[in-house]
Amino acid sequence: MSLQLLKPVVAGLLGLALIISPAVADPKYGGVLKLYWGTLDTTDFHRHTGTISLTHPFAETLTSVSKDGQPKPFLAESWQISSDGLTYTFKIREGVKFHNGDTMTAKDVLANFSRIRAEVKKGWLTSAMEPVDRFEAPDDRTFIVILKTPFSPFLNLIAEAWILSPKSAGWDKTISHPIGTGPFTFDSWTPQVVLKGKKFSDYWMKGKPYVDAVEFDVRELADASLAVRSGDLHGAEVPLSKRNILGEDKNVMLDFRGDTSWYFVSFNNKTPRAPFNDLRVRQAISYAIDKPAILNLSAGESGQLVNQMAAPGNFYYDKAMADADPHRQPNLDKARALLKEANVDPAKVTVRLIGEATDRSVAPIVQMIKRLGFNVENKAYDDLGYQKALSGYEWDIFPGGSGPRNDIFLRFVRLMSDGPNPHLWGGVTDLEFDRLVREASISVDDTKRRALYLAAWQRVIDNYYTVAIGHTPALYAYRKELRDMSIGFNTSAHRADGGIAFAWFDR
């Protein structure tokens, strides 16, 4: 067949392909977006100590953590870091308006950073502000941060430093009605019930947002998957156990968060009592813990067996370290031999275990420890109660979990002697560990920083401060008619490269 004859055939096929291929639809405007996406702690965003899920839709930050975990420009159009890593010069985005109509300037940014530094005494932002020497705003579009020492996580950490109008009600004490720059204005909030926002028509991302309003269901739902399937909600974080059921529903799409949650068993490292101050006993308990079984029960096929704080795919994950994990599979014989070697009769020892009441992995872990012959005193507390009980250090073992963090430093800092809430990991006091993490945090070289973090984690493994069990992803479900909605690296509902500003209804 000659080429002349083929031409009309090819053209016809191409034409047919164009007709039958799904058209890339233009975003449509309108609708009220209903989501179950976490909760809100306080209207004074600077003082938040918990989740950041619902803050960004109303107030934005200089940087935004994108789906791959890297900082992206947000309210800062760009930035420069001096060669010594001490000076960060941010170019503030032009034409950004607060919800009250005022134009955001570098002076507003300075006022926010100064307020955070002066007022916020606990929470994640304290780590970001610790190395800061001073702030400067030489003109309306330049904001400079001068650090005392280099601090590599700085750009990721300030992705939680919300920029609010200093005219927000309660600015001098506690902000009661935040005025931000986000795609939605803060409309109303009924704690534990609903948080509402209205479309901000002067939003700086041209043409966005597409929906007229957003309603966040902030009740504590055990399972929002049915509400998504019925159409009562357009998107929600749902239990991993619903993955198969939701996967079969043609009206629902699934998405996974970029960063994972990790699960661990911590020993009391601050005031360890005999025999748990003996490394062999800690080893024995670690050999008794059936990591694959725990992951299977809590996450099914989605669990990842990892002995580190970073999961595969993360820059700070190390495969060799994972492969060398002696506790990938339980080994009760070895565990019993270690106890014998340490002269410990488990029948005469009662393990004091503290757990969170809703954590379903605690019961299997208790059974695993009991298999060695130990008695277990298992105390379950509510969300606040277990943290209080842990801080008393009247315990031996704590099985727990930890959610996504904007930077790996925020995971390591928890194990530092002077880190925030050190009791969750048993109050580790290891000066060498502290030094390695500190060195990593000031290192401007990626490879060197990774090596330092890994060296620090190797100390955790060798000393059995905490035994990492594995990682589980977080599952999100959206209605099919909701287009271009996505979850990023962390739990935030809005970011520079996706989230609710990009979402629209195709009805």
Closest to other proteins by CB, 179 or 469: 469
Cα distance between residue 111 and residue 113, in whole Å: 6
Per-residue tokens: 507:
């009805």
Omega before 275 within 30 of 0, i.e. cis: yes
394 binds other proteins (CB under 8 A): no
Q: HSE, CB side, 13 Å, CA atoms: give it for residue 506.
A: 16
- Please select the residue that binds other proteins; options are 277, 378, 421, 429, rule is CB under 8 A: 378
Query: Taking contact as CB under 8 A, which single stretch among the options 89-97, 182-190, 293-301, 422-430 is the one that binds other proteins?
Result: 293-301
Q: Is 166 in the site for other proteins (CB under 8 A)?
A: no
**Given candidates 28, 148, 273, 360, which one binds other proteins under the rule CB under 8 A?**
360
455 binds other proteins (CB under 8 A): no
Question: Residue 307 in contact with residue 320, Cβ under 8 Å?
Answer: no
Give the Å distances, CA to CA, from 239 to 51, 117, 120, 469.
Answer: 18, 37, 33, 19
Cα angle 428, 433, 439 (rounded to 5 degrees) comes to 140
- Which region among 289-297, 308-316, 321-329, 468-476 touches other proteins (by CB under 8 A)? 289-297
Handedness of CA 452, 454, 460, 463 (dihedral sign): negative
Q: List, as one string, the DSSP characters of 9-48.
A: HHHHHHHHHHHHSPP-PPP----EEEEE------S-GGG-
Q: Which of 215, 111, 124 is nearest to 172 (CA)?
A: 111
Residue of 213, 226, 254, 451 interacting with other proteins (CB under 8 A)? 226
Q: Which residues contact 224 (CB under 8 A, 6 or more apart)?
A: 36, 217, 233, 236, 237, 238
Structure tokens at 265: 């068993």
**Beta bridge partner(s), residue 119:** none
Q: Which is nearer to other proteins, 362 or 454 (CB)?
A: 362
- Read off the tokens for 227: 């509400």
**Please, what is the minimum distance in Å from the beta carbon of residue 397 to other proteins?**
14
Q: Token pair of 492, please? A: 């935030």
Q: Does 366 help bind other proteins (rule: CB under 8 A)? A: yes
The interface region with other proteins, picked from 380-388, 398-406, 416-424, 437-445 by CB under 8 A, is 380-388
Stretch that binds other proteins, among 173-181, 212-220, 373-381, 452-460 (CB under 8 A): 373-381
Cα distance between residue 404 and residue 70, in whole Å: 14
One DSSP character per residue, 70-92 reads -EEESSEEEEEE-TTS-EEEEEE
Q: Shortest distance, CB of residue 196 to other proteins, whole angstroms? A: 28
Q: Would you tell me how many other CB atoms lie within 10 Å of the CB of residue 369?
A: 25
Binding mask 69-108 for other proteins (x = CB under 8 A): ----------------------------------------
* Binding footprint of other proteins, residue count (CB under 8 A): 26
Among 166, 385, 401, 420, which residue sits at the site for other proteins (rule: CB under 8 A)? 385
Q: Which two tokens stand for residue 236?
A: 């929600």
- At residue 403, φ and ψ (nearest 5 deg) are -85, -170
CB atoms within 10 A of CB 144: 18
The pair phi, psi for residue 52, each rounded to 5°, is -110, 15
- Give me the least distance between CB of 372 and other proteins, in Å please: 15
Does position 132 interact with other proteins (CB under 8 A)? The reply is no
CB of 357: closest distance to other proteins in angstroms? Answer: 3
Binding residue for other proteins (CB under 8 A) from 296, 421, 429, 463? 296
Rg of the chain taking only CA atoms, in angstroms: 25
387 binds other proteins (CB under 8 A): no
In the bound state with other proteins, the residue whose beta carbon lies nearer, of 378 and 402, is: 378
Q: Do 467 and 426 form a contact (C-beta atoms < 8 A)? A: no
CB nearer to other proteins: give 110 or 240.
240
- Contact residue for other proteins among 84, 94, 133, 382 (CB under 8 A): 382
The residues with which 471 forms a beta bridge, in sequence order, are 262, 304
Candidates 355-363, 405-413, 449-457, 489-497; binding stretch for other proteins (CB under 8 A): 355-363
Binding residue (CB under 8 A) for other proteins from 78, 176, 251, 367:
367
Stretch that binds other proteins, among 138-146, 203-211, 313-321, 376-384 (CB under 8 A): 376-384
By CB under 8 A, residue 460 contacts other proteins: no
Q: Name which of 394 and 446 has its Cβ closer to other proteins.
A: 394
Q: Does 362 bind other proteins (CB under 8 A)?
A: yes
Min dist CB 367 to other proteins, Å, is 6
Instruction: Work out whether 297 is an interface residue with other proteins (CB under 8 A).
Output: yes
Interface with other proteins in residues 227-246 (CB under 8 A): 239, 241, 245
User: In terms of CB distance, is 13 or 347 closer to other proteins?
Assistant: 347
CA gap 243, 395 in Å, rounded: 36
Residues that bind other proteins (CB under 8 A): 222-223, 226, 239, 241, 245, 293, 296-297, 355, 357-358, 360, 362-364, 366-367, 376-382, 385
